[in-house]
Chain A
Amino acid sequence: MNRRALLASLSLFGGVLGCGRTANTPPPVVTVFAAASLSGAFAELGQLLEQRQTGLTVRFNFAGSQQLALQIHQGAAADVFASADERWIRAVSDSGLVAGAAEIFAHNSLVVIVPTANPGRIERLEDLTRRGLKLVLATETVPVGKYSREVLGKLSGAPGFGTTYAELALRNVVSFEENVKAVAAKVQLGEADAGIVYRSDVTSATAPQVRIIPIPDQYNVVADYPIAVLARARNEAGARAFHDLVLSAEGQAVLERHGLTPAGVGSVPTSDAP
């Protein structure tokens, strides 16, 4: 090997080793970790904030809430965390990783979706127990997966539903997906006969490919979405700005347009209200 090539490769090592250093000035970037079900609404809110504060970039990491909580625990650089249930934001806040208190900013409920072609001929919730159907749910560790089981449980023994409803429906499950968007995708592609997702997952993009079978309120589960600024936020001002936008009247309107139920302006804090 000649000397020049060698020096070049050595300086490359130096570059690799040196890139871990961070600048002292706070980067004009806000990193938001948000539940997969928030992707549509939050992307719009991110753009809104970027327009307001020129130079600011809002980056998102959309995934299952449980996975985001795990990443935050492992030291991922996140400024804001919006979870699809309180369990995972509590997991983060119990480790002292949340600055201040988490606040509920929206509610969501569940619906059953079937492909437009409806290969399973599912017209009512009762049909979900028919033998040989291909039902897709989210896995139990994801909030929506837990809620789906709760709904099936509530329906068991309800008028018109047998006491073994949940058991029979669960027997039809062909896959427990790792996030809610994967459930929606399997139904959209027509591979699953039915799936249980959030109402907000039936977006303008998915609506033409699926049909909704509503779940009556008394059997439905209301998911509370909490949001919090993280204690290790590298851009606390930016994080606070995004957090406030989500809770503002304007932010709530955006959430509502994406199928979420606004928690109401000046929402209820999860800690003791004054």
Chain B
Amino acid sequence: MLRWSTVLARIGVGLAVALLVLLIALPLLGLVLRIAPGDLIHQLRQPIVLDALRLSLITSVTATMLVIGLGLPVAGLIATKEFPGKRALEVLIELPMVLPPTVAGLGLLLAFGRTGLAGRSLDALGISLPFSTAAVVLAQAFVAAPFFITASVAGFREVERRYLDTAATLGAPPLTQLIRVILPLSLPSLLAGAAMGWARALGEFGATITFAGNLQGVTQTMPLAVYLALEADLRAAVALAVLLLLVSVVLLLAVRTVAPRHRLSSAAHAVRHTP
């Protein structure tokens, strides 16, 4: 016979799942049901939509690359070494996750703006970041970096010491260990982190509009286009929103299907081929 506590626990969990699914799925359903497929196709042909979509894809991919390039060494350092100021570095890296994006945008403006801390020197070199596509990328990288780095640190920490010891015993130099053992074993975490960062960059709004402004084809990404269309034409806004939703779903699904396969194959590969 089932115990009362078990029954209650099941009801509780069921209720929680149902409420959470409603909370997330209902708004999405609301968007999708609001639009006819014909409308979506019609909107796709609008130059403003095409510009925003193209800009969003280019900037978010660039920002993700930037975050991976700079984030990997930082994550490796945090995961493997102890050094003074490590705590401070970790807090600093996580900070953009909790900052309201508008604050991030204002900060970026005060740092890289024409009269900003670093902006003054940049301006002297003839580089002006605000209102440029580069500013969009910076804003996106700023908010996306913590997602990638925290996931990567966790991934690196999961790599078991004994694999590295085995590799070292067999004479593999550190670089070989990194390429043949550490990266393959932590690849699922790295991919998941990159996907999270990419998704965050794609959805970035507040920092972008504050730091980069809003100009079609230059700084108007999909989220900005959705927000501004909302005030002029609700149908266009819904179409844009659904489009952004579709792109995000495709991306997340792609990562889901790639990541587990890599985990298995790369782990097996690493074990088999470690010299």
Instruction: Identify which of A1, A176, A190 contacts B115 (C-beta below 8 A).
Output: A190
- B9 CB within 8 Å of chain A: yes
Q: Is B145 an interface residue (CB 8 A)?
A: no
Residue of B whose beta carbon sits closest to that of A142: B231
How far does the Cβ of A192 sit from chain B's closest Cβ, in whole Å?
A: 8
Does B275 count as interface, using CB distance less than 8 angstroms?
Answer: no
Interface string of A55-66 (1 = CB under 8 A from B): 000000000101
B19 lies within 8 A of A13 (CB): yes
In angstroms, how far is the closest chain A Cβ from the Cβ of B95?
A: 22
- The verdict on B184 contacting chain A, using a C-beta distance below 8 Å, is no
Q: A92 → chain B, closest Cβ, in Å?
A: 14
Give the interface residue-count category, chain A.
20 to 34
Answer whether residue B109 sits at the interface, using C-beta atoms and an 8 A cutoff.
Answer: yes
- CA–CA, A71 to B228, complex, Å? 14
- List 13 other contacts, CB 8 Å, given A1-B12, A191-B131: A6-B8, A6-B12, A9-B16, A119-B114, A141-B232, A142-B231, A175-B219, A177-B213, A186-B213, A189-B115, A190-B113, A190-B114, A191-B113
Residues B5 and A191 in contact, CB atoms below 8 Å apart? no
B interface residues (Cβ-Cβ under 8 A, vs A): 4-5, 8-9, 12, 15-16, 19, 109-110, 113-115, 130-131, 209-210, 212-215, 218-219, 227-228, 230-232, 234
Assuming the contacts A6-B9, A134-B131, asked whether A70 and B230 have C-beta atoms less than 8 A apart, the reply is yes
**Chain B proximity of A194: nearest CB distance (Å):** 13
- Offer 6 A-B interface pairs, CB within 8 angstroms, sorted by A: A3-B8, A140-B232, A174-B131, A176-B214, A177-B214, A178-B209
Residues of chain B contacted by A134 (CB below 8 angstroms): 131
User: Shortest beta-carbon distance, A69 to chain B, in Å?
Assistant: 8
Contacts of B16 in A (CB 8 A): 9, 13
Closest to A74 in B: B234
0/1 string, A134-160, CB within 8 A of B gives 1: 101001111000000000000000000
Contact check: which of B9, B15, B109, B234 meets A189 at CB < 8 Å?
B109
Task: Please name all residues of chain B whose beta carbon is closer than 8 Å to the beta carbon of A139 when the two chains form the complex.
Answer: 214, 228, 231
* A13 partner residues in chain B, CB cutoff 8 A: 15-16, 19
Distance in Å: Cβ of B26 to nearest Cβ of chain A:
15
**Secondary structure dominating the interface of B:** helix
> Closest CB-CB distance, A206 to chain B, in whole Å?
16
* Minimum distance in angstroms from B85 CB to a CB of chain A: 32
Q: How far is the CB of B24 from chain A (nearest CB, A)?
A: 15
* B219 CB contacts on chain A under 8 angstroms: 175
A222 CB, min distance to chain B CBs, angstroms: 23
A70 to B237, CA, bound (A): 12
Q: Which residues of A from 175 to 224 have beta carbons under 8 Å from B?
A: 175-178, 182, 186, 189-191
Cα-based distance from A139 to B115 in the complex (angstroms): 25
**Chain B residues with CB below 8 A from A43, complex form:** none
Give the chain A neighbours of B19 by CB distance below 8 A: 13
Contacts of B131 in A (CB 8 A): 134, 174-175, 191
The complex places the Cα of A270 from the Cα of B101 at a distance, in Å, of 41
- Inter-subunit contact A175/B213 (CB<8 Å): yes
Which residues of the partner chain B approach A118 to less than 8 Å between Cβ atoms? none
Q: Residues of B contacting A141 with CB < 8 Å?
A: 228, 231-232
C-alpha spacing A174/B131, complex, angstroms: 6
The answer to whether B231 touches A67 (Cβ under 8 A) is yes
A191–B154 Cα distance when bound, in Å, is 40
CA distance A140 to B48 in the complex (A): 14
Most buried by A among B5, B16, B110, B213: B213
Q: How far apart are the CA atoms of A2 and B4 in the complex, in Å? A: 11
Contacts of B109 in A (CB 8 A): 189, 191
